[in-house]
Structure formats: C-alpha cells, structure tokens
Amino acid sequence: MIRFIIRRREHPIPYSHASLISIFVSILISLAILTMFGINPVIAVWEAFIYPLISGYGWSGVLRNALPLLLCGIGLIIAFRAGVWNIGAEGQMLLGAIVATWIALYFMPDKPALIVIPLMFLFGFIAGGVWGLIAGILKSKWNVNEVLTTMMLNYVAYQLVYYLVMGPWQDPVTNYPVTRPFPPSACLPKISRTFPVPIPTLIIGIFSAFFVYILLLHSRLGYEIRAVGSNPDAAKAYGISYEKVVMIAMFLSGGFAGLAGVNAVAGAIPAQLRRPEQVSRGYGFIAILVAWLAGLHPIAAILTSILMGIFFIAGSSIEIIFHTGVETTNLFIGSLLLVLSVAETLRHYSIRVKFTSSLFKISKESSGE
C-alpha cells in the first residue's frame, strides 16, 4: 500500500531554486512532447536554443521580446506585492500605445525627437497608469474584484484600438487597418540597423527594474505596499491607508505596462499603431509568468524576461526547422506555467511516498515522519 505524507515545510524552498528547477523540468517536458511528434530533441536544442544565440543573430529578437515583458513584468510585481491581481497589463499597454500614437501623429508631429520621445513615454506611462487606476479605485472604494475589472478593461482597450485603426486613424494611403507611419522624430532610435533594439526602451527597462527594486524594498511606500500585500488588516492597524496603497500600486503597475505599449508602437518597424493583437501580442499575460518566475523580484525579472525572449526565438526556430505549426512557443511557456504552479505548492509542502508491507496493516503512526 502506498501512502502519501504531506507536510508543511518549516522553511519554504527559496524562489530562486523553485524557479530554476521549474525551468529545467518544463524544458524537459516540452522536449519530451516534441520527441513524441518525431522531433530529435538533440537537434532541437542545438538548432533552436544554442545556434541562434552563439552565432549572435538571435539576440536582437530575444531582446525585442524581452523588453515589453520586462516592463509589464515589473509593473505586475508592484501590484502582486500589494496583493492586487492585475490581469490587465494588455489593456494598459494598449492605452500607452494609443497615447504615444496620438502624440506622434497628431499632437506634435513636427517637434524634434528630444521632445517627442520623452513625452511619449511620460504620457504613455500616465495613460497606462490611469487605465490601471480605474480598477484600483473600484477595488479600494467598493471592493470590486480587480481580476474581473482589469480583465474586462482589456477588451475595452482592444475595441478602442480597433475603432481607431479601422476608423479615424486608418492609413488613408492603403486603407489598411494601421495608422500612418510615425514621423522620423517619433521613431525610437535603434542600436543599429542589423540589431534593431530600441535604445530608449532598453535604458528605461533596466533603469525601471532597479528603480522598482529600490521602491519596493528600500522605501516607505514599498514597505507599505508589502505590508498591505501580506496582511491588509494588520497594515490597517498600523495606520497604513489600504485605499491609497492599492490605488498607487495599480497606477504604477499600469504605468509600466503603458511604457511597453509606447515601445510596441514607436519601437516597431515601421513605427505605427496596428490591430490590438499585433500591438500587445499577449505580452501582458506572459508577463504574469515573468513576474512569478522572478519570485516577484524586479531585478530577477530582467533574467526571466530574457528567458521568455529565448523561448519566443527558440519556438520560432523549431517551427521553422520542423514545421510544427505555430504552437511551439506556447508549448514552452505553457509547460513552464504548469510546472511553476506545481512548484509553488512544493515550495511550501513536502510530499513523501511510503510503501507499507501489508495491505491490512493499518499504520498507527501519525502523519509525521
């Protein structure tokens, strides 16, 4: 007879260990699934994960995918640390993209880049923040479930972008559902033509990660955010304003997603607003995984977002080489999500399997060792 003994660990396994094991196990699972489809896993690992990276050309794609994930991810880390479940990074990103487009094409199409680009990021942050703040206010004032509101606000943002690109902002030359290309002053400068990673976003991304690290772990506001996140009632008892913290957390969370939205339009080639699914591209959802995989630590999010970027490139390469359809990237990310969810439980609980010699012998032991 088999017995499972589940015990709560006195000291949970650190996030870093759980994450590393999850990454390893999930890659093994993904490769096992690919093997079942007749793909040689050795060639897959070499061709998809190693060759693009050691020969260098894969890195620009990795970073172009990692940057929006990093920005959305560190935003989510703020919200999650405050115990607010922001699922709306997609919508907040799109609002940032809309405002950046408005500035680039209609508000100041003829101003120099040094004015336009900072303003796009500033107002993109505010726009994404306000979109997040709507859910924040609803939660703090009337205790409306923020999972539902942020999720539903995503769809509002999707439809808003659809309306703009198929209506008033549609490209008049081709009638295609995209806006006109931005003027050169509103296009983010790239590292080089062969390595088209937007420099402003790269700087803002890394700077934001450190900024959020200091904010969360070495400031009064960060202390309040963490206090509300771990125990709202205790935080209230200590005189921390729950309402204020939730609203600030949602504003900042949405703001960083908004920055990713600015990058998605102004950093694209050509720079323009497109249909919503081509702007947010699911980054807002995958960023949830980035945040959790980083153990809600902003600096670690740099590494986890790069890892997701590698998954994007590797998935694409496997699709190119083995013609596996379009789901290979999702296979990697999906198995990682699954394994990480299991690991989150195993961090806190240990499971032992015991084989007892007889079916009829009823163990008198307690559930201890």
Is the C-alpha dihedral spanning 249, 14, 283, 268 positive or negative?
Answer: positive
Cβ distance 97 to 275 under 8 Å?
Answer: no
In the complex, least distance from residue 219 CB atom to another protein, rounded to whole angstroms: 31
- Dist CA 249 CA 78 (whole Å): 6
> Residue 79 and residue 87: Cα distance in Å, rounded?
10
Query: Which is closer to another protein, CB of 158 or CB of 213?
Result: 158
Phi, psi of 358 (to 5 degrees): -120, 145
Min dist. Cβ of residue 54 to another protein (A): 9
Q: How far is the CB of 313 from another protein (least distance, A)?
A: 7
CA atoms within 13 A on the CB side of 127: 26
CA distances from 330 to 16, 73, 104 (A): 23, 18, 33
Minimum Å gap between C-beta 166 and another protein is: 5
CA distance 45 to 100: 39
C-beta of residue 225 within 8 angstroms of C-beta of residue 84: no
Supply the minimum distance, in Å, between the C-beta of residue 208 and another protein: 22
The residue (of 57 and 349) whose beta carbon lies closer to another protein is 57
Q: How far is the CB of 47 from another protein (least distance, A)?
A: 7
Q: Smallest distance, Å, CB 283 to another protein? A: 11
**Please, which residue, 78 or 313, has the CB nearer to another protein?**
313
Instruction: Please name the amino acid found at residue 280.
Output: S
Q: Which is nearer to another protein, 213 or 322 (CB)?
A: 322
Residue closer to another protein (CB basis): 112 or 167 = 167
How far apart CA 322 and CA 44 sit, in angstroms, is 9
The number of CA neighbours under 13 Å toward the Cβ of 318 is 33
CA atoms of 3 and 51, how far apart (whole Å): 46
Strand partners for 7 = 350
Nearer Cβ to another protein (234/320) = 320
Task: Give me the residue label for tokens 């487009």.
Answer: 101
Q: Which is nearer to another protein, 17 or 348 (CB)?
A: 17
Q: Which is nearer to another protein, 112 or 325 (CB)?
A: 325
* Burial zone of 203 (CB within 10 Å; 0-12 exposed, 13-18 middle, 19+ buried): exposed
Between 84 and 266, whose beta carbon lies closer to another protein? 266
Give the span between the Cα atoms of 274 and 161, in whole angstroms. Answer: 8
Q: Smallest distance, Å, CB 368 to another protein?
A: 20
What are the residues whose beta carbons fall under 8 Å from the beta carbon of 161, sequence distance 6 or more?
94, 97, 98, 273, 275, 276, 279
Q: How far is the CB of 46 from another protein (least distance, A)?
A: 4
Give contact residues for another protein (rule: CB under 8 A): 13-14, 17, 20-21, 24, 42-43, 45-47, 50, 52, 55, 57-58, 60-61, 64, 162, 166, 173-177, 181, 193-194, 196, 268-270, 274-275, 278, 281, 312-313, 316-317, 319-320, 323, 325-326
